[in-house]
Structure 1
Amino acid sequence: MAVQQRRERERSERHRLIISAARELAEAEGWGAVTTRRLSERVEYSQPVLYSHFKGKDAIVAAVAVEGFGEIAEELRRARTAQASPRAALGALADAYLEFARAKPAVYAAMFVREIDVEFGSAATPAPLKAAFGELLGAVEPLAAARNADPEALTEVFWSALHGLATLEEGHRLRPGAHRTRVDLLIDLVAAGT
Structure 2
Amino acid sequence: MATRHGHGDNHSRERFLQAALTVLLKQGVSGLTVRSVAEAAGTSTIGVYTRFGGRNGVLDALYERTFEMLHEKIRAVPPVSGDPATGILALAHAYRRFALDSPARYAFMFEQSVPGFDPDPDLRAFAQRSSFDLLVDRVAPVTPSGRDPNVTGYLIWTTMHGLVSVELTHRARNPPPKWFIETTDDAYDEVFGAGIRAMINGLDLELA
Superposed, 1:162-173 pairs within 5 Å as 162-172=160-170
Identity %: 23
Confirm or deny: 8 A CA contact 1:21 1:39 kept in the other structure.
yes
Give the distance between the partners of 1:12 and 1:178, measured in 2 at CA.
40
Q: Is the 8 A contact 1:144 1:154 kept in 2?
A: yes
**Aligned pair count?**
181
| Partner residue, 1:93 | 91
Deviation at 1:159, TM superposition (A): 1.4
Distance in 1, Cα, partners of 2:134 & 2:13: 28
The reply on whether 1:137 has 2:139 as its aligned counterpart is: no
Give the TM-score taking structure 1 as reference length: 0.81
Aligned-residue RMSD, C-alpha:
2.5
Which residue type is aligned with residue 157 of structure 2?
W
- Tell me, which stretches of 5 or more residues in structure 1 are unaligned? 1-8
Q: Equivalents in 1 of 2:150, 2:93: separation in Å?
A: 20
Aligned equivalents of 2:38 and 2:143: distance in 1?
Answer: 49
Structure 2 unaligned residues grouped into runs of 5+: 1-6, 176-180
**1:84-109 deviations in whole A, cap 9, x for unaligned?**
21101111000000000110222222
Aligned to 1:25: 23
TM-score between both structures, scaled by the size of structure 2 = 0.76
Tell me what 2:194 maps to: 184
Question: How far does residue 52 in structure 1 lie from its aligned partner after superposition?
Answer: 1.3
Deviating above 6 A after TM superposition, structure 1's stretches of 4 or more consecutive aligned residues are: none
Distance 1:179 1:109, change over 3 A: same
SS at match of 1:125: helix
Q: Distance in 1 between matches of 2:151 and 2:79?
A: 24
Structure with greater helix share of residues: 1
| Residue identity opposite 2:65 in structure 1 | E
Report how far residue 191 of structure 1 moved. Answer: 3.7
Instruction: Report the CA distance between 1:188 and its aligned residue.
Output: 2.7
Single out whichever of 133-142 and 13-22 deviates more from structure 2: 133-142
